[in-house]
Amino acid sequence: MDELLFNLTEWLRSTPLTELALWISDTSLSGWIVTHFWAIPIIQVVHILAISASFAAVLMLNARIYGVAGHATLGETSRRYTKILWGSLVVLVISGFFMIMGEPVRELVNPYFWIKMVLVALGIVVTALFSRSVSRQAATSDTVGGGAKATAAFLIILWCVIMWCGRWIAYAPV
Amino acid sequence: MNPEPTNIWQRLEYSNLGTTVAESTWMFPTIETIHVFALVTVIGTIALVDLRLVGVKGHALRVSQLAKDTLPWTWGAFVLAAITGTLLFVSKATSYTINPWFLGKMVLLAMAGLNMVYFHLTTWRAVDHWELDPSFPPAAKLAGWLSLVFWLGVVFCGRAIGFTLGIYY
């Protein structure tokens, strides 16, 4: 596994991403973040709070779908948590952007970062399809079919793997 | 070999458990990742109830029902965060105990706990009587705000530890 990640880093280094990262590090925004010690920790705190909001939203919607948090109707639950989920995803993208600006080489020339980006893209597509399907089913019933149930569980695992990759950006073999 | 421990924190750090986590290449990051899964669940589910207490609506659920749905997740995740946090702590106990951000985090955790216990023993007991009112009692709003502030502080200190561990000695 380490070997694979190491080779991926080597390959990333040979692409124009290296040049892009170096160009970003010359921008004034990047320079500002680098010279302010607390900028990165604060951006990371915002990122963590947004992860908390989105993960709790997915968790509580799943709990409702699996029948262990049954006080509100499915339609109501799905409307509420979908709104929180998309709102926090916007905050995640913005705070993530500033993290890339602050540490471009560490992020862009990093195998975990790119695995994470692919999984995030997958997560957004699956979430969009999933929430459409749930709200359609919620219009006529208070339960969902097996497909939506399986997708709900898949999304929890996917977000955990995404968090895993995010945390391990700091531990990429170089 | 480690030198002879002279206090309890060194004793912990030099223990089998401490050195096993510290010397492994994958254990610390893995435990840290599980700590992240746990803490985002704790923060997220607590914030849902806190925001409701301070007046953010957007859900037909009564606050007591919302709390019933979220609390099992909060407690389960808190136990997981405490276990993983202890393992991380033991592996570098002497570095953590002299880090002011770590100490601040522990104080804020205690304050968040005291706020919760006090609120549950007082205002929350009568939740059936006020949760259908258009506005919650000031004590409930205050408990919600305090909880949000304490937990935000916990997250900030937690992140600050990662940037300052090893600069104090």
Distance to chain A for B33, nearest Cα, Å: 6
Task: Please say if the pLDDT value at position A168 is more than 80.
Answer: yes
pLDDT one-digit tens code per residue, A90-110:
999 999 999 999 999 999 999
Q: Are B82 and B113 in contact (CB under 8 A)?
A: no
Give the amino acid at B34. Answer: I
Q: Buried (b) or exposed (e) across B67-77, using 16+ Cβ within 10 A?
A: bebbeebbeeb
Distance CA A120, CA A160 (A): 11
Domain limits at A129? 2-171
Contact yes or no for B69 and A37 at CB 8 A:
no
* Residue B1 confidence (pLDDT): 60
For A71, the closest chain B residue by CA position comes to B65
Q: Are A73 and A142 in contact (CB under 8 A)?
A: yes
Q: Are A105 and A25 in contact (CB under 8 A)?
A: yes
Q: Total structural domains in chain A?
A: 1
* Residue A9 confidence (pLDDT): 94
- CB-based contact (8 Å) between B149 and chain A? no
> Is the full-model pTM beyond 0.90?
yes
Distance CA A98, CA B49 (A): 29
Six token digits for residue B88: 């991380």
* Residue A71 confidence (pLDDT): 76
* Residue B34 confidence (pLDDT): 98
Cα dihedral A39, A40, A43, A45 sign: negative
Q: Are B91 and B22 in contact (CB under 8 A)?
A: yes
Distance CA B81, CA B87 (A): 10
* Residue B58 confidence (pLDDT): 65
- CB-based contact (8 Å) between B24 and chain A? no
Q: Are A147 and A65 in contact (CB under 8 A)?
A: no
DSSP B4-23: PP-SHHHHHHTSHHHHHHHH
In this structure, the number of other CB atoms found within 10 A of the CB of residue A155 comes to 20
pLDDT one-digit tens code per residue, A13-46:
999 999 999 999 999 999 999 999 999 999 999 9
* Residue A143 confidence (pLDDT): 84
Distance to chain A for B98, nearest Cα, Å: 20
Three-point CA angle B150, B161, A116, nearest 5°: 95
Mean predicted confidence (pLDDT) in A47-75: 92
Q: What percent of chain A has pLDDT over 90?
A: 83
pLDDT one-digit tens code per residue, B97-136:
999 999 999 999 999 999 999 999 999 999 999 999 888 9
Residue ranges in chain B whose pLDDT is less than 70: 1, 58
The secondary structure of residue B169, as a DSSP letter, is: -
Mean predicted confidence (pLDDT) in A68-84: 87
Contact yes or no for B68 and A53 at CB 8 A:
no
ipTM of the complex: 0.94
- CB-based contact (8 Å) between B61 and chain A? yes
Distance CA A151, CA A45 (A): 29
